[in-house]
Structures are given as structure tokens and as C-alpha cells.
Structure 1
Amino acid sequence: MMPMMRRTFSTALLTMFCVSSAPGVNASEADAEREERWQQIADYIFDDRKVIPTEALISIDAPKRAQDAALVPITLRMPEKDKIKSVYLVIDENPVPLAAHVTFGPAADAGALHLRVRVDTYTNIHAVAETKDGKLFSNAAFVKASGGCSAPSGPSDAEAMKGMGDMRMKFAENVRQGTPSEATLMIRHPNFSGMQMNQLTRLYTPPRYVEKVIVSQGDQTILEVTGDISLSTNPALGFSFVPAGQAPIRVVASDNKGGKWEQSFDVPLATN
């Protein structure tokens, strides 16, 4: 999605979706409202492409009630991973519902993804799997949370921005050539949502968020991530890849204000 399209998307969804269900509506009415909202969001993101409900191609592990609405752990699982081209994570009631779009490269193992997100209010979270033949399949989970998008990123904006762009990578033990292995990427970045108030100036901090992350090894892409304000402060991404050769893993990250950072990480291959 191009920058101008992203701004239009954000503005339109703020207008369409930031009003919650009225107090006193019963459960069936609330469910109907949530389904109508999801259909509106799906139409906006995917145009006229059909999104088919599924429990087989993708699932969501999410807390029913978030302990911290600004750091909600989400795991997406794709049992038939060889069929998956990309996944979309949509937080229906957030001001900008499309939290992330992750496209898998040839060096990826698309079985699972782990992310941390902001959740602004009680909401359905939808995961949409795009298969290699171009079809879309969705599953949903309901999460109770409040205020995740306006929670401060730190004691002050300056403190939150210290070390911005620094990265760390953790690898699972016994990483072996040609065998899927897990890794976790952590990026130091405040991911300002535009809804957070600077406690010193009492003004809202302009949005500044990680917009693109590309992870590769050698000439093989592992995955590409397009993000938005719903990713948490200091975004973390857990993924699986298939190690090939001695080349380090290279990460290139950029944000919506033109910041760009690159870092490489040696893969600790097992010797036996």
C-alpha cells in the first residue's frame, strides 16, 4: 500500500470505525454490528475480493482479556503453511484496523508468526491468509482491552526515542541448515500512534511508526512486513526461516518519517 493510500486509508477508517457500539445493545445486536463492521473493513482493504471464513488455514492465539492493552501478544498459526503467500492482521475497532501485512519469501517457513499489538477497545481481531493461488481466508478472535492506542510509549517522547532503530535478534537453539528454525526480531522504536499525549507539553505526539521491515538471508527474502500504528512500541516479530549457507540475516527497517536502519545478524548454526 503506497504512502498516500495509507493516509487515505487511515483517515477513512478513523471516520468509519472509531465509534463503539452504543451502551445497552444486547449480545446478538453487538455481534451483528461487529460482523457489519468487519464486512466494511474487508471491502475497504480487499476491494471486491471474497474473504472466506476458515478454521483450517489460519488460527489466532490471543488473550481473551489483555493484561496490557498496549502490548497484546498475538500468534498466528498456518497449519497448511506451504499454501500461504501472506497474512493480514486486522484489529477491527482500532482507529487504523490494518495492523500488519506480512508477505513470506522463499526462505521463510510460514507456519507461525508472533507479534505484539495495541488494542484500543473490546474488538474482534481478524487474521486473513492469502494463499498462493490468490484466495483469502479469515479467522477471528475476540479480545477485551481498553486504551492501547493512547497509552504512553515512555516517560517522555525523548526518552521513548532513545536508541531508535537499534535491533536485536534471538535465535532458537540448534539452528541447522535446511531445517526450519525460529527467530525473534526486536526493533527499538516508539511507534507513536498519534493518539498519545506528551506529558510535558500536553500536546498530542505526531504519529511515527515502523512502516516497512524486510528480513533476508543472502539473496533470499525471508519476509516483508508492512506495519502501522497498531503495532506496539518497540515492535517484536517472531518468525521461522530455513537457514541456507553462512550468510547473516539482514534486516532493513524504515518508518513513515523517513527513518531507515539496517543491521545484520550471524546465524548460530549447530556444528553437529
Structure 2
Amino acid sequence: MKLFHAVALAVLIAGPASAASDTAQTALTPSESWTDLRGDITGDAEIADGGGVFNVDAPYRADDAATVPIHITQTDPSTDIKSLKVVIDENPAPLAAEFTYGPAMAPLDMELRVRVNQYSNVRVIADTGSGLLMTGRFVKASGGCSAPASKNPELALASMGQMRLRPFDQPQMSTPRREAQIMIRHPNYSGLQRDQITQLFIPAHFIDRIEVFQGDDMLWTMEGGISVSENPVFRFQYTDNGATDLRVRATDTEGNVFEHTLPKDAQG
């Protein structure tokens, strides 16, 4: 009995310490892969620490490697973030997405979901027009790019291109700031997944470009690859220009074009 109590006490003592270490070790770590990739991603450009301008939040241990949330929030609104790249060092296609932003997106607050194939740094590199800034997080996840799709291919293709917009209530502010979430139905096949019946690889087929407008004003565009999750979801804040709708246009690698006009106040 004394031994049992001793073990139980040790578990109680060790448990919080272990959890604390999990949450503490989230910053970018040294990476040989990044050393090899950097020239292809940013060329010879110098990259400064972006920690004073924006934050990147991601789980240290991902619950689902195929849908890892990456939340980017700008902490210094005086810096103009014109575009950014999301890079996952150890993924088969490390450059997950490239975003370009219109003025209404400032200050930036955006979340997307990505696949992480093995323990990896997830980097966000922002272009301010006067230089590059980078920060990110180390994420423990594996198998995200080869994880089975949530639906069988026939069902996934049948709903492909459907879109929903979910608005979120915002507290009263001095500016007409809104928050919305856009979900696009698409299997975003990575080329590394197997058909669960035939066990053959499913060919890569994914959304490669998204454009989001409010009225005629561009909010943001994205050029993406296989590292963006199945059924892509994007949550973001923007300054309302008075238009009643958000207009979304997406294309995929098979030449499909999906266009929808989504009322800003639609619930779905």
C-alpha cells in the first residue's frame, strides 16, 4: 500500500511538470531542412525576427495531424503585412500556402488548418514591403499528409465546391470590424493517401487558388498546395466596407472553378 501511494504521488508530481514542458517547448527549433529550403522559399533575402509584430499559435502536440490549426495574429498594427507564406519544414511539399492581403485585413487575425506529416517547425514568413519577418511554432504530429480522407471518394467529389460562411458577433468597437469563417468542401487529396478499398494511391487533387472579396474589394487570396487540410477552413477578421456579401472564387488542380456569393450575415 505504501508503494502504491508513493507511485501515485510521483505521478501527480511528474504530470504537471511534463505538461508544462510540452507547452513551453513550442518555439522554432534548429532545422537542417530549413537550411536546405530557405533559398527556394525566400531567395537571398534577409529574414528578421517577427515575434514583435505577429504571433503564431499552434498546438505543441496536435490532436489530428491532418487538421492542425495555425492562428496568426498581428500584435503591431503599425507594420503593414502585405503577404505571408506558411512553411512546414518536414512536409513533402513544405510551402503550404501563400497569402496576399488587402487593406481591410489589417491588423491581421487569421486561422487556417494544415497537414503536418512529421514532427516539424511550422513557419510564417511575412512580407512587409520593406523586409521579411518570421516566427512560428514546433508541432509534434505525424502522418497528416497520408491520413485517410474522411469520406469515400465518390461522396467527397459529389459535394466538392460547396461553401459556407459563418459570421461571428464582435464587441462594439470604434471601427466596423467583423469576423467570419469560410469552409470549402474539397477532398484536397495529397497524392499520398490510399483508397481504403483498392489500396491504390489517390492522385493529388487539391485547391490551388482562393480569392475572397467583399463587394469589389479584395480581402485576401491564397495559393495553396497539398499541405492545406481536407475541406479547407479559414477564420479571419476584416474591416467592413458596407457590402452585403463576400464573394469567393476557388480553383483546383483539375481545372474546376467554384464561385459563390455568401451573405455576410448568413448562418450556416
TM-score bracket, shorter-length normalisation: 0.7 to 0.9
How far residue 174 of structure 1 moved from its aligned partner, in angstroms, is 5.2
Matched residue, 2:55? 59
Matched residue, 1:50? 46
SS in 2 for 1:83: coil
Matched residue, 1:21? none
Aligned partner of 1:204 among 201, 204, 215 = 201
SS in 2 for 1:38: helix
Comparing 123-132 and 154-163, the one that deviates more: 154-163
Comparing 42-51 and 67-76, the one that deviates more: 42-51
For residues 113 and 28 of structure 2, the distance between their equivalents in structure 1, rounded to whole angstroms, comes to 28
What pairs up with 1:1-272 in 2 under 5 angstroms? 34-81=30-77, 82-133=79-130, 135-173=131-169, 179-268=176-265
How far residue 39 of structure 1 moved from its aligned partner, in angstroms, is 2.5
- Summarize deviations over 1:200-224 as a string: whole Å, max 9, x none: 2221001011111100012210001
- Contact 1:109–1:180 under 8 Å retained in 2: no
For residues 156 and 162 of structure 1, the distance between their equivalents in structure 2, rounded to whole angstroms, comes to 10
For residues 217 and 32 of structure 1, the distance between their equivalents in structure 2, rounded to whole angstroms, comes to 35
Comparing 42-51 and 231-240, the one that deviates more: 42-51
- Contact 1:59–1:127 under 8 Å retained in 2: no
For residues 109 and 188 of structure 1, the distance between their equivalents in structure 2, rounded to whole angstroms, comes to 27
Identity %: 38
For residues 80 and 263 of structure 1, the distance between their equivalents in structure 2, rounded to whole angstroms, comes to 33
Structure 2 length-normalised TM: 0.83
Cα distance, 1:250–1:175 mapped onto 2, change above 3 Å: farther
- Give the aligned length: 238
- Contact 1:212–1:255 under 8 Å retained in 2: yes
For residues 32 and 149 of structure 1, the distance between their equivalents in structure 2, rounded to whole angstroms, comes to 21
SS in 2 for 1:161: helix
- Summarize deviations over 1:54-95 as a string: whole Å, max 9, x none: 311222111110111111111011212451111111111000
Residue type matched to 1:181 in 2?
A: R
- Contact 2:111–2:234 under 8 Å retained in 1: yes
For residues 34 and 257 of structure 1, the distance between their equivalents in structure 2, rounded to whole angstroms, comes to 37
Cα distance, 1:68–1:174 mapped onto 2, change above 3 Å: closer
Q: Which has the larger radius of gyration?
A: 2
Comparing 54-63 and 255-264, the one that deviates more: 54-63
SS in 2 for 1:189: coil
Structure 1 length-normalised TM: 0.82
Comparing 226-235 and 78-87, the one that deviates more: 78-87
SS in 1 for 2:108: strand
Residue type matched to 1:166 in 2?
A: Q
SS in 1 for 2:71: strand
For residues 98 and 258 of structure 1, the distance between their equivalents in structure 2, rounded to whole angstroms, comes to 21
For residues 255 and 216 of structure 2, the distance between their equivalents in structure 1, rounded to whole angstroms, comes to 25
Residue type matched to 2:104 in 1?
A: A
For residues 118 and 102 of structure 1, the distance between their equivalents in structure 2, rounded to whole angstroms, comes to 17
Question: What root-mean-square deviation, in Å, do the aligned CA atoms of Structure 1 and Structure 2 show?
Answer: 2.2
Structure 1, unpaired ranges of 5+: 1-30
Structure 2, unpaired ranges of 5+: 1-26
Residue type matched to 1:65 in 2?
A: R
SS in 1 for 2:106: strand
Residue type matched to 2:253 in 1?
A: N
- Contact 1:58–1:127 under 8 Å retained in 2: no
How far residue 175 of structure 1 moved from its aligned partner, in angstroms, is 8.8
